[in-house]
Amino acid sequence: MDDVERHFRAGVERFNRGEFFEAHEEMESAMNLLEDDTDDWNFFRGLLRAAVANHKLSQGESASAIIHLRAALHLLAPYPDRHRAIRLREFRSALSAALARLHSGAPALRSPRIEFVCAAHPA
């Protein structure tokens, strides 16, 4: 496992534990290690913005969370439903549902999880 993958997996673990600031840091580290291979730059930026959105929600900052959720969805949109072994379609759907709830004035329920496609790729 290379350093990019190590930071990515650590970011997923931290996101799923609700450690959103730390997840943001891990995704940023993974992104910065991409060097010349920038194909996944926006993928990591999207996960990073999702982490920031959830961090803002945990602080009661709904307006800021909405901005970050929109950005996350925009950045993740071009990637396939299964990317880097995660269930990206389901994650985008959960982010969209959270955004819709916030737009309606309802509080977001719980933070979505980033799930791997199979147990062979645990978070």
pLDDT in the model for residue 118: 80
Q: Is the confidence at residue 46, as pLDDT, over 50?
A: yes
Joined together, the tokens standing for residue 108 give: 């977001």
pLDDT at position 103 over 70: yes
Of the pLDDT bands very low, low, confident and very high (cuts 50, 70, 90), residue 121 is very low
How many Cα atoms within 13 Å fall on the side-chain side of residue 115? 14
Dist CA 20 CA 60 (whole Å): 14
CATH number of 3-103: 1.10.3450.10
- Decide: 46 and 75 in contact? Cβ < 8 Å: yes
Q: Please give the residue that has the higher pLDDT: either 16 or 38.
A: 16
- Whole-prediction pTM value? 0.92
